[in-house]
């Protein structure tokens, strides 16, 4: 293979990518070319050679950027502070995660009292030499003697479960493989978990995930002996999530067919009873918060787009009794945590957290004033605990942990981040702008105090807009060097997310998906109109569904942006559902199998809307072990972009090795990628460091 010039008016000699013009698909009478289909085979020698060539090309460019070393050092210095998680109380011990600063993975410790001697329990940094293996779920047995935990290798969604004897400090022989999208739920001397059959296809990171099942594993036995609890041979694309209640008397099962809406099943474990269906449809969401005295507390959006809290009396499982405890309100009810016999309800009020307290009958008790305008994680703890913990963060405040007294309903500082960063030098404000159809959309704008709004500030606009996921105020350390150097960081709370409940989500799905892109484009136009920035100084960023957002906006309005970062993006909207868990996203996207859905999917699919024109400087990022959004999306997108792009802006791809969709990524890989993005952005904007 060799490097060739695709067009004479390009600055770069992009790596050669073979086109197979014979690969075509017919969608309802419309013929669609797919010349880079061969890149979907991530195991082929040709694909691996292509990956190596693209990475060599990209890193040879990045290595020449003078600001890259500065950004990497500054990020490394910023990252080097001790980070704690909120403690989890198990009987009389406290368990928590701690990272001394630059460790690739946080370490699990215990202490006998808050702030006491820290005892190392589990060090995920020892799972692999390069830190690419990470800890997933952890779950303690009821007596506190055993810890079950899952491990992901190379960032994959595939996990294996192991069991640690906490009394002896030894790893047991138990090992459960091929686990994906599963909790670990203890019952007596074992636990429930969910898994897929072992893939027979060699492409384990792209094979379609089908026939999810729930099993029970008894400690000390081989996986082959595990008891099958639930399967559905008639619905291959149905997943089963399960959890045991706090007293381990019931197994709660949530069957799902997509990313929104679930059924609700229950099994009485005390008598090993049959599985009863409390809810047998997928129209609404039902999230069980707790089980107290044979009564389930459940968050649901059934006839309540902003969610409400209900109870289900399960004394008679054949005749469960549903009752509303807290009615739907004006603002979105994001979470409910029952600690110390009280319900701590978190509302999202214009994308900011509000914390209210109720008794178990739904009587309002008090609003707890939060430390500032930002986001809390919810209250961790159990119903019998007299204390709980919550984490608070904002765009300029690192995560701070507080301990709450559930009797006095007061809280005090537990752990504060000692980062070398002064939040008082920066400010965040929320502004609203009008989208194309007149809908008002909020955004958060963060910058250094005293900044001059002259239209020349390097600005990074971030968005997601999908799957009912809310993008809430949070400290993003990788954006600090941008702010320090006169930059602006903007988060747009566009439709498709969950910031304002189910209606906000549904306004950005299926045939309404274009609303999401219109919102993001309108955000960019607003920033330019208000002289925060200009098209020559504006970058856009998004990952996964946000990668789709960036891909769609840069192909629809390429002149509006100078730099684009589509990360691990869903970019081939005609074939996304044929890989791994992609089929579950159809409730947001629709599938090209449907003639009506094909029309709108083909209209905005980033891969299929690249034309021969000039595009923003683009750095596509993906990873070789991403089995959520398979890297073929990014591979085909950049190949098409490099073949059609006309202009002097670089368009390239950065392919991380031994990494996945993002969860559990080692610290140093995060720093390196963030430094590459910031230096790429500043280089292509012609920005000189302050």
Catalytic residue IDs = 544, 661
One DSSP character per residue, 605-654 reads -GGGG--SS---EEEEEEETT--SS-THHHHHHHHHHHHH--SSS-EEEE
**In this structure, are residues 435 and 518 in contact, taking their beta carbons and an 8 Å threshold?**
yes
**In this structure, are residues 17 and 36 in contact, taking their beta carbons and an 8 Å threshold?**
yes
Q: Where are the beta strands (DSSP E) in 185-283?
A: 185-187, 190-195, 213-218, 227-230, 239-244, 250-256, 264-268, 275-279
Task: In whole angstroms, give the CA distance from residue 359 to residue 297.
Answer: 12
Task: In whole angstroms, give the CA distance from residue 258 to residue 238.
Answer: 8
- What count of Cα atoms within 13 Å lies in the side-chain half-sphere of residue 89? 18
Q: Which of these, 531, 530, 453, 518, lies nearest to 492 by C-alpha position?
A: 518
**In this structure, are residues 165 and 129 in contact, taking their beta carbons and an 8 Å threshold?**
no
Contacts of 29 (CB under 8 A, 6+ apart): none
| Cα dihedral 574/579/581/585 (nearest 10) | 0
Task: In whole angstroms, give the CA distance from residue 426 to residue 483.
Answer: 8
**In this structure, are residues 468 and 505 in contact, taking their beta carbons and an 8 Å threshold?**
yes
User: Is beta strand 488-492 parallel, antiparallel or unpaired with respect to 538-543?
Assistant: unpaired
> What burial class does residue 203 get, using C-beta atoms within 10 Å of its C-beta: 0-12 exposed, 13-18 middle, 19+ buried?
middle
Contacts of 106 (CB under 8 A, 6+ apart): 83, 85, 97, 98, 99, 124, 135
Q: How far is CA 70 from the centre of its chain?
A: 29
Q: How far is CA 155 from the centre of its chain?
A: 13
Task: In whole angstroms, give the CA distance from residue 354 to residue 369.
Answer: 8
- The arrangement of strands across the sheet holding 410-415 comes to 375-376, 387-394, 397-405, 410-415
**In this structure, are residues 486 and 678 in contact, taking their beta carbons and an 8 Å threshold?**
no
């Amino acid at each position: 293979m060799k490097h060739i010039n695709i067009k004479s008016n390009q600055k770069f000699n992009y790596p050669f990518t073979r086109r197979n013009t014979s690969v075509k698909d017919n969608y309802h009478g419309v013929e669609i070319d797919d010349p880079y289909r061969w890149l979907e085979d991530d195991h082929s020698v040709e694909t691996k050679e292509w990956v190596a060539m693209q990475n060599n090309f990209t890193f040879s460019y990045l290595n020449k950027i003078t600001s890259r070393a500065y950004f990497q050092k500054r990020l490394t210095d910023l990252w080097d502070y001790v980070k704690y998680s909120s403690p989890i109380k198990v009987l009389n011990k406290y368990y928590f995660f701690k990272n001394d600063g630059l460790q690739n993975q946080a370490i699990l410790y215990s202490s006998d009292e808050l702030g006491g001697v820290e005892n190392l329990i589990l060090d995920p940094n020892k799972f692999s030499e390069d830190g690419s293996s990470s800890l997933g779920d952890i779950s303690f047995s009821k007596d506190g003697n055993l810890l079950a935990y899952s491990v992901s290798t190379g960032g994959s969604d595939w996990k294996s479960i192991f069991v640690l004897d906490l009394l002896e400090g030894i790893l047991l022989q138990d090992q459960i493989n091929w686990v994906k999208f599963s909790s670990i739920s203890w019952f007596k001397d074992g636990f429930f978990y969910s898994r897929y059959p072992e893939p027979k296809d060699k492409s384990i990171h792209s094979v379609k995930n089908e026939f999810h099942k729930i099993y029970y594993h008894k400690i000390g036995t081989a996986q082959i002996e595990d008891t099958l609890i639930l399967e559905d041979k008639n619905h291959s694309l149905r997943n089963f999530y399960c959890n045991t209640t706090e007293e381990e008397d019931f197994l709660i099962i949530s069957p799902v067919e997509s990313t929104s809406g679930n059924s609700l099943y229950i099994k009485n474990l005390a008598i090993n009873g049959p599985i009863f269906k409390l809810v047998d449809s997928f129209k609404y969401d039902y999230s069980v918060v707790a089980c107290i005295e044979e009564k389930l507390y459940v968050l649901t959006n059934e006839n309540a787009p902003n969610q409400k809290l209900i109870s289900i009396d399960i004394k008679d499982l054949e005749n469960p009794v549903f009752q509303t405890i807290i009615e739907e309100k004006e603002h979105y009810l994001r979470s409910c945590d029952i600690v110390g016999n009280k319900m701590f309800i978190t509302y999202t009020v214009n994308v900011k957290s509000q914390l209210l307290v109720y008794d178990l009958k739904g009587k309002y008790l008090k609003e707890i004033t939060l430390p500032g305008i930002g986001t809390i994680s919810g209250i961790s703890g159990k119903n019998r605990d007299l204390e709980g913990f919550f984490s608070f963060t904002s765009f300029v405040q690192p995560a701070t942990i507080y301990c709450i007294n559930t009797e006095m309903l007061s809280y005090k500082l537990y752990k504060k981040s000692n980062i070398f960063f002064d939040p008082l030098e920066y400010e965040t404000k929320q502004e609203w702008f009008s989208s194309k159809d007149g809908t008002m959309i909020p955004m958060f704008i963060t910058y250094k105090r005293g900044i001059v709004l002259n239209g020349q500030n390097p600005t990074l606009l971030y968005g997601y807009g999908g799957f009912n996921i809310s993008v809430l105020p949070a400290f993003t350390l990788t954006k600090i060097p941008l702010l320090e150097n006169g930059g602006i960081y903007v988060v747009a709370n566009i439709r498709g997310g969950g910031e304002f409940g189910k209606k906000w989500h549904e306004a950005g799905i299926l045939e309404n998906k274009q609303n999401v892109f219109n919102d993001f484009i309108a955000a960019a136009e607003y920033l330019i109109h208000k002289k925060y920035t200009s098209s020559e100084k504006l970058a856009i960023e998004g990952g996964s569904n946000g990668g789709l957002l960036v891909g769609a906006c840069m192909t629809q309005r390429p002149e509006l942006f100078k730099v684009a970062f589509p990360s691990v993006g869903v970019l081939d909207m005609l074939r996304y559902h044929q890989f791994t868990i992609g089929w579950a996203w159809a409730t947001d996207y629709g599938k090209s199998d449907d003639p009506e859905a094909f029309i709108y999917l083909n209209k905005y699919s980033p891969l299929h809307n690249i034309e021969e024109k000039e595009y923003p400087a683009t750095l596509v990022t993906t990873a070789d072990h991403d089995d959520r959004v398979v890297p073929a999306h990014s591979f085909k997108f950049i190949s098409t972009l490099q073949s059609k792009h006309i202009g002097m802006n670089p368009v390239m791809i950065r392919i991380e090795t031994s990494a996945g969709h993002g969860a559990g990524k080692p610290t140093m890989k995060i720093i390196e990628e963030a430094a590459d993005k910031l230096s790429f952005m500043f280089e292509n904007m012609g920005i000189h460091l302050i």
